[in-house]
Amino acid sequence: MNYRHLYYFWSVAKTGHLTQTAQQLHVSQSALSSQIKQLEEWLGQTLFEREGRRLKLTQAGYIAKQYADRIFAEGQSLVEQLKQGKTSQASVVRIGHASTMSRNFVEQFIASLMSPSPQPFRLHSMSTHQLLTELAEHRIDIALANTDVAGQDEDIWQSRLLARQPVSIIGVPGLPITSLDDPALRKRSWVLPPTSAPLRSGFDMLATQYQWSPQIIAEADDMAMLRLLARDGGALAVIPDVVVKDELDSQRLQRYVTLPNLFEQFYAITIKQPFQHPWLNRLLARYD
């Protein structure tokens, strides 16, 4: 099978007439019929059956036309993108996000893709290093991360701060905590981000300032895991409010103190390229 076999079949499938299609394609009717016959022999299926003067698709033909529709739509998209610099609005938006990111923030970011008219998209969770690799190799259109790409080649990357979320001391309801210098904080159990995380550095400075003696029972670089550990294990956690929005709303967790001058930052990272997906500007516009 080759591209021409499939194109001739697809053209006839749309009109239902050999003669009319042959005239449109500027080929003889016999040549057109021969190409379709070769395709049928190669597939081992009859694609058309005669119904008077029309050619009607068989079940196999209907399935083949569905595939051909997608193949030639992609072909048109290829031409538009590479020859005219356009990217189809309907093409899939490929979004990578750091595995440490808040799922609630990611959900907020993609909300416009889901309604009112759904736009196809794919989400990929991976490490920040993998995100940059996937961007550089054009396997994703945009990356969401909670660390900037400072120190990277500025001629390649475009990094944009989308939001800064406040960070709070979060725990199960009913604890006697009202402020940062509350004695109840001095010997508590904690679940925290690892020492390499910016949030952890901020927490360590506060612990020194207020003379806490934190008992760190677990570390996790996944915010969703910190949320579960705080909710189900009873320890305090340092988490952006957006991560635990559902638990705060349902009162399964409580915000005790919002930490001063400590934020979780969310970045959108793209790569400089001539063919950018048209949906990217719409996704980013809400953060202007």
Q: Any idea what the CATH number is for the domain that residue 182 is in?
A: 3.40.190.10
**Is the model's pLDDT at 5 over the cut of 70?**
yes
DSSP state, residue 185: G
105 & 152 share domain: yes
Q: What are phi and psi of 156, to 5 degrees?
A: -105, -50
**155 in the same domain as 280:** yes
Asked whether residue 246 falls in the same domain as residue 172, the answer is yes
Residue in the block written with tokens 């709303």 = 249
Residue in 268, 237, 265, 269 with CA at minimum distance from that of residue 253: 237
For residues 255 and 271, membership in a common domain is answered with: no
Mean pLDDT of 170-194: 92
What are 81's two structure tokens? 């993108």
- pLDDT recorded at residue 115: 78
**Percent of the chain residues past pLDDT 70, beyond the cut:** 93
Residue ending a domain, among 25, 53, 84, is 84
Model pLDDT, residue 234: 87
**Mean per-residue pLDDT for 19-39?**
93
Residue 120 banded pLDDT, cuts 50, 70, 90: confident
Single residue among 61, 84, 107 that ends a domain in this structure: 84
Is residue 145 helix, strand or coil? strand
How many structural domains comprise the chain? Answer: 3
**270 neighbors 142 (Cβ within 8 angstroms):** yes
pLDDT in tens, 48-78: 998 888 899 999 999 999 999 988 887 877 7
Contact 249, 221 (CB under 8 A): no
Grade residue 150 by pLDDT with cuts at 50, 70 and 90. Answer: low
Same-domain check for residues 236 and 205: yes
Same domain, 21 and 69: yes
- Domain of 18, in residue numbers: 3-84
The answer to whether residues 287 and 181 touch, using CB atoms and an 8 Å cutoff, is: no
- Mean local confidence (pLDDT), 143-166: 82
pLDDT of 275 > 80? The answer is: no
User: Considering 64, 84, 104, which residue would you say is the last residue of a domain?
Assistant: 84
Rg of the chain's alpha carbons, rounded to an integer? 28
Cα separations (Å) of 195 from 198, 241, 261, 271?
A: 8, 20, 18, 29
* CA–CA distance, 16 with 10 (Å, rounded to integer): 10
Residue type at 226?
L
Q: Which two tokens stand for residue 254?
A: 């409580």
Range 131-137 contact pairs with CB under 8 angstroms and sequence separation of 24 or more: 131/96, 131/97, 131/98, 131/269, 132/157, 132/269, 134/96, 135/96, 135/269, 135/270, 135/271, 136/271
Choose the weakest-confidence range: 23-32, 75-84, 212-221: 75-84
Which CATH number does the domain housing residue 52 bear? Answer: 1.10.10.10
- Least confidently predicted of 112-121, 192-201, 232-241, 255-264: 112-121
> What does the pLDDT read at residue 174?
92
12 pLDDT above the threshold of 90: yes
pLDDT at residue 255 greater than cutoff 90: yes
pTM assigned to the model: 0.67
Let me know whether 248 and 126 are in one domain: no
Provide the percentage of residues in the chain whose pLDDT is more than 90. 57
Shared-domain flag, residues 186 and 249: yes
pLDDT for the residue numbered 90: 56
Do 252 and 174 fall into the same domain? yes
Calculate the average pLDDT of the chain.
88
Residue 141: what residue type?
D
Q: Could you tell me if 158 and 272 lie in one domain? A: yes
In this structure, the answer to whether residues 130 and 271 fall within a common structural domain is: yes
Residues 35 and 99 in one domain: no
